[in-house]
A and B are shown apart, each in its own frame.
Chain A
Amino acid sequence: MATKKLMKGTAARMGVMKRVSLVFKAKANKALDKMEDPRETLDYSYQRQLELLTKVRRGVADVATSRKRVELQINQLQQQANKLEDQARKALGMGREDLARAALERKASAQSQLNDLQTQYAQLQAEEEKLTVASQRLQAKVDAFRTRKETIKATYTAAEAQTRINEAFSGISEEMGDVGMAIQRAEDKTAQMQARAGAIDELMASGALDDAVGGKRDDIQNELDMMAASSDVERELSRLKGELTAGAPKQLEGGANGNSQGTQAPQGAQQRQAQGGPYAPPQAQTQPAAIPASELPPAEPQDGEG
């Protein structure tokens, strides 16, 4: 009745709704015509329904796997982006705006990939939900079909069976066509996603993405490390310089004469001890040349004691 209304005045054109449903009906009828015994039809159809149920469940699992893979990549890219921002901050702190800019440029590139992946993630999630719902709906219909199948078989009279079978069959086959298409759609999307995810994984593994998102050959980090190391060196240097300028006056105050003698005298004694007796006299002779004559007398008794 409604269909007649819909078709009114559209003899040549019947609308998308009607045309699609006719194609579905034609498919179902073609499958029905192949069957000779109606009871065979029921069993055969039920087998196919169970197969489709397995397939749609596998489809849900496949999409979930894909989604998790994208999730992993999102996390990796997020870490990269965070790291690059950190590097930019450090570089800026060291007064290296050029380096900070390079890091932020890479971060932008990582971020755009990240946004792309997040869109894909949302699509996969939606696909997963749709398939899950489709699988639940098919399960309910398969259960209903099984019940009806048993009833028809139990009360089988060839005359009425055909209509009831046709009814149940076209209802379920329409659902199967729908679910089959949903699976196909999900498979296509998953395949596209797998290809992209695989490409990103490969790029990451090969290091080709490192220049864009940092990684193993991270030159920004290298430069930051070098700068950190050289600033450590500078700091040590200035610390030592500070020690020197702070410590030097004290040493001078202590008396250049007294000190220099104090250090030199024991040295001379040690040398003589190591070299042994025969060489002691020449050493004693050379010393007076370096040391003022006035200081020689106190040095002599020391040598004698040692």
Chain B
Amino acid sequence: MIVRILGEGQFQVDDTDTTELNRLDTELETAVEDSDEAAFSAALHGLLAQVRAQGSPLPAESLAPSDLILPHQDSSMDEVRKLLTDDGLIPG
């Protein structure tokens, strides 16, 4: 599957085992819901690191849409919340 880390690019991620990705993703979501800044930061960094480790970057000229999209590395919790709404951070 293709995962995009915003501000970083797309990764082709091996999806035979997504347990760790799922776990970190759930942690991230819970942290945002609970407004837990420390947990948020840890989960986001962990999740991004996992994607980078488990995937390889797609060539720049690839036009394939991503299956999953992740916030950029130094997103604040507020930015992630806005990202989750239709008229949030995404332009257009």
Contact = CB atoms under 8 A, between A and B. Distances in A.
Contact of B89 (A2, A31, A140, A184): A184
B84 A20 contact: yes
Contacts of B13: 2
A27 B92 contact: yes
B80 interface: yes
B60 A140 contact: yes
A21 B83 contact: no
A23 B26 contact: no
A13 B66 contact: no
Contacts of A136: 60
Contact of A16 (B1, B65, B67, B84): B84
A212 to B, nearest CB: 31
Contact of A10 (B26, B72, B90): B26
Nearest to A184: B91
Q: How large is the interface on B (under 10, 10 to 19, 20 to 34, 35 or more residues)?
A: 35 or more
A143 B60 CA distance: 10
Contacts of A25: 65
Given A3-B68, A167-B65, A23 B90 contact: yes
Contacts of A171: 62-65
Contact of B65 (A17, A19, A170, A184): A170
B50 to A, nearest CB: 11
Interface string A135-170: 011001101110010000000000000000001101
B84 A19 contact: yes
Nearest to A139: B60
A180 B6 CA distance: 11
Given A15-B26, A143-B61, A144-B63, A31 B92 contact: yes
A63 to B, nearest CB: 14
A31 B86 CA distance: 13
Given A2-B1, A17-B3, A20-B84, A144 B61 contact: yes
A180 B63 contact: no
Contacts of A1: 1, 15
Contact of A181 (B6, B21, B84): B6
Given A15-B22, A178-B6, 10 more contacts: A6-B22, A13-B29, A23-B88, A24-B66, A137-B60, A144-B63, A167-B63, A176-B91, A177-B90, A184-B89
Interface of B: 1, 3-4, 6-7, 9, 13, 15, 18, 21-22, 25-26, 28-29, 32, 47, 59-72, 80, 83-86, 88-92
17 contacts: A2-B67, A6-B21, A15-B26, A15-B29, A16-B25, A16-B70, A21-B68, A23-B85, A130-B7, A140-B60, A143-B61, A144-B63, A174-B65, A176-B92, A180-B91, A181-B72, A184-B89
Interface of A: 1-3, 5-6, 10, 13, 15-21, 23-28, 31, 130, 133-134, 136-137, 140-141, 143-145, 148, 167-168, 170-174, 176-178, 180-182, 184-185
